[in-house]
Structure 1
Amino acid sequence: MTKLVKLAASLVCLGLAACTHTGGMEPVTELKPGTAWVLNSDDWASEAREVFAEATQHTDAVEGERPDGSWYVVLDLDETVMNNVAYQVQLDRTGTSYQSDTWFDWTQQEAATAVPGAIAFVNYVNSAGGHVVFVTNRRDTEQLATEVNLAKLGLLRGRDFRVLLTRASPEAPSSKEARFALVPDMLEVQGYPDTVALAYVGDAKGDRPAEWNSEAFFCIDNGAMYGDPCASVPLSGR
């Protein structure tokens, strides 16, 4: 190989994530079952829509007992509202695993897509007189890019969601319990006192308070790609 060809190959490698993430080794091209399921299966999209339909039915049945503006629902973001399967595809194809730096780079691309059914559910909650609250384990340094990504999906702060709580990194724990407890106070200082949660929606067991009624927690199956999945049998087809 000539020096010129070697130089060109090196420059190409520097421009590819696969080269930097695998140390020059051949990338893995097969996707993990969960990644392939979320990426390619109509079952995943159907299941997600079904979960949001169940959350809508539950909320509709109980919200009539509350005045407008006096209730809220809490949603996780990643794999609940925002679909990050493109990030996981990159990991699978390069034989790597989640790292905080590559995840940060992904969030800065503001390229997550919407989980099927999520936007319709957010719109329903707002039209029914409730507040939408997002509680995520994305870091505070990722909050700006997250809000821009949400705006690209048509979800704007103040219009479509009232609160978005990230966590400080690396100091804050990943447990969301303390942030869940803050939500009523945050809504009160915005002019909405005495609010109560009617439902939680997420893709992991920690996406609801520990003492929360399981019948009012609605679980999106994330294909066991991340965290401690709340789906009883991942890839189950419900």
Structure 2
Amino acid sequence: MRPGRVRRRALVRAADSDRSPERAEASMTTCGNPWLAPLVLCALLGGATPGPASAQVPAEIHWTRDSAEHDAIFLQVYRAATAQLERAAAGQTSGSWAVILDADETVLDNSEHFRVMAAHDNVAPAFDAEAWGGWVREARAPALPGSAAFIARVHSLGGRVVIVTNRIDELCEPTRQNFRNLAIEMDAVLCHTSSSNKNPRYESVQAGTAAIGLPALTVLMWIGDNIQDFPGLMQPEARARGQAALTEFGVRFFVLPNPMYGSWEGNPIRN
């Protein structure tokens, strides 16, 4: 997803981590909650070993950039997606099907941009469209672990790769250039034009109206870091329906962790 904003919060100093009994108890309680992503939240809430004394960065950016768990989860998800795709693509005609991925925090790692912004602001920064545009135009975001190998495997199986991103249309060409700089081949990059709702763009891929030279495609899989990266899903509906809304995850839908920003920020905090 395109970052709408990163929440403003105080910086944390890794070496001054509060190891009080109250914090330890809160960490243990959270880590035992099956509704929360334990690898992500245990690290954020105190389950991780303190880092160097000089490290000063918002916890969510620190985890994204520096934790072993982050890279492990990305590799795990992309490997699971690859195994599932190999089964799903069996018997499909070459060139007739596609995988749709989000760009930001799914294939492209923008954490360096947020680290720099936080260093200037002394808190996790609010979204700055001008600074974000400058970062995107540099076209130097690195690939996230497992993403390039997955995309290469899609092509070797005979599939197409379509990026559906909410980066605005004027940033679409530098986004394509970023992928070229990484030697990651995309069949189409569909950016935000009139609406941030991705569902019409998903439908255009399936109808063959998404891009010149791109035929109607059967979409076998979606990968993203936001519930809204998956067809027909939004935060309120997904939460209201519970596990019934999540039956495609691990089959056609694969989600990646993003503690830095997302539509989840608007959810009410449960007591």
Give the TM-score taking structure 1 as reference length: 0.76
Structure 2 residue matching 1:136: 3-state secondary structure: strand
The alignment status of 1:113 with 2:142, answered yes or no, reads yes
For residue 187 of structure 1, report the CA deviation from its aligned partner: 6.6
SS at match of 2:196: coil
Query: 2: distance between equivalents of 1:196 and 1:206?
Result: 20
Answer yes or no: is the 8 Å Cα contact 1:110–1:146 preserved in 2. yes
Match of 1:152 among 181, 194, 200: 181
Q: Whole-Å Cα distance in 1 between the matches of residues 167 and 210 of structure 2?
A: 21
Task: Verify: 1:77 aligned to 2:103, yes or no.
Answer: yes
Aligned to 2:48: none
Question: Contact 1:133 / 1:163 at 8 angstroms: preserved in 2?
Answer: yes
Aligned to 1:219: 255
Work out whether 1:89 is the aligned partner of 2:115: yes
Deviations 1:176-206 (A, max 9, x none): 111111112137962634x211100000011
How far apart in 1 are the matches of 2:211 and 2:62? 43
Partner of residue 68 from structure 2, selected from 42, 60, 74:
42
Extract unaligned runs of 5+ from structure 1.
Answer: 1-27, 231-238
Work out the CA distance in 2 between the residues paired with 1:151 and 1:191. 19
- 1:197 is aligned to 219
Q: How do residues 24-39 of structure 1 correspond to structure 2 at under 5 angstroms?
A: 30-39=56-65
1:7-65 per-position Cα deviation (integer Å, ceiling 9, x unaligned): xxxxxxxxxxxxxxxxxxxxx98311110011111211111011101111111111113
Helix, strand or coil at the partner of 2:263: coil
In structure 1, give the amino acid aligned to 2:87: A
RMSD between aligned residues: 2.1
CA contact (8 A) 1:32 1:92 kept: yes
* 8 Å contact from structure 2 (residues 81, 254) kept in 1: yes
Compare 209-218 and 37-46 and name the one that shifted more.
Answer: 209-218
Q: Residue by residue, what CA displacement relative to the aligned partner does 1:56-88 show, whole Å, maximum 9, x if unpaired?
A: 111111111311111100000000000000111
SS at match of 2:57: coil
**Counterpart Cα distance in 1 of 2:135 and 2:225:** 19
Larger Rg: 1
Going from structure 1 to structure 2, the CA distance change for 1:99 and 1:125 (only over 3 Å counts) comes to same
Change in 2 beyond 3 A, CA 1:191/1:82: closer
Contact kept? 1:30, 1:92, Cα under 8 Å? no
1:124 counterpart letter in structure 2: R
What residue is the counterpart of 1:208 in the other structure?
230
Structure 1 match to 2:195: 173
Aligned-partner SS, 2:166: strand
Distance 1:130 1:90, change over 3 A: same
Query: How far apart in 2 are the matches of 1:206 and 1:43?
Result: 24
- For the pair 1:65 / 2:91, whether they are aligned, the reply is yes
Unaligned ranges ≥5, structure 2: 1-12, 14-54, 234-246, 266-271
* Per-residue Cα deviation, 1:87-139 (whole angstroms, up to 9, x for no partner): 11012212232111111111111121100000000000000000000000011
Q: Does 1:161 align with 2:208?
A: no
How many residue pairs were aligned? 194
Distance 1:201 1:229, change over 3 A: farther
Change in CA separation of 1:188 and 1:178 when aligned onto 2, cut-off 3 Å:
closer
Report the counterpart of residue 186 of structure 1 in structure 2: 209
